[in-house]
Amino acid sequence: MKLATIWHGGAAVAAIVDDDENTARPFGIDMLSVVRGGRARGAAGETLALSSVEILAPIPRPERNIFCVGKNYRAHAAEFTKSGFDSSAKDAADAIPTVPIIFSKVPQCVIANGAPILYP
């Protein structure tokens, strides 16, 4: 079971998605309201076929930059070092950082799976 934002009833609303059942159960509020502790009107409502709804970005319009932690587990750090894109590690011995790598991303970088990437 996962939380997602879907397009349903003419609005972007939070929903419970069940991959095993291929269903979505929409709430009556958006994801930011859920994150802020809002109560879903009627809790998760009708059960919809996942194929009948459009999955949107988790939080379509974040209000601020997104706080990120890089190389936050060993397998990811090693994979990133091997990719050739890691300018912070010269070899495998440098793959695991001794301090957290913190960075942010602008809100506009959040898009739905399969959505086109828009360049400014």
pLDDT tens digits, one per residue of 26-69:
988 889 888 888 665 545 678 999 999 999 999 988 889 999 99
What is the H or E stretch that residue 74 is in? helix 74-83
Residue 119: pLDDT above 90? no
Number of domains in the chain: 2
70 and 99 in one domain? yes
19 and 51 in one domain? yes
Of 58-67, 74-83, 88-97, the range with the highest mean pLDDT is: 58-67
The whole-number pLDDT of residue 88 equals 77
Task: Give the separation between CA 17 and CA 27, rounded to whole angstroms.
Answer: 11
Give the residue numbers spanning the domain of 26: 2-55
Distance in Å from the first CA to the final CA of the chain: 35
Confidence of residue 95 (pLDDT cuts 50, 70, 90): confident
Neighbours of 36 (CB within 10 A): 9
On whether residue 7 sits in a domain, the answer given is yes
On whether residue 61 sits in a domain, the answer given is no
7 and 48 in one domain? yes
72 and 51 in one domain? no
The whole-number pLDDT of residue 38 equals 63
Task: Please compute the mean of the pLDDT values over residues 97-109 and round it to a whole number.
Answer: 89
On whether residue 17 sits in a domain, the answer given is yes
The whole-number pLDDT of residue 42 equals 47
Q: What pTM was computed for the model?
A: 0.71
75 and 38 in one domain? no
On whether residue 113 sits in a domain, the answer given is no
On whether residue 73 sits in a domain, the answer given is yes
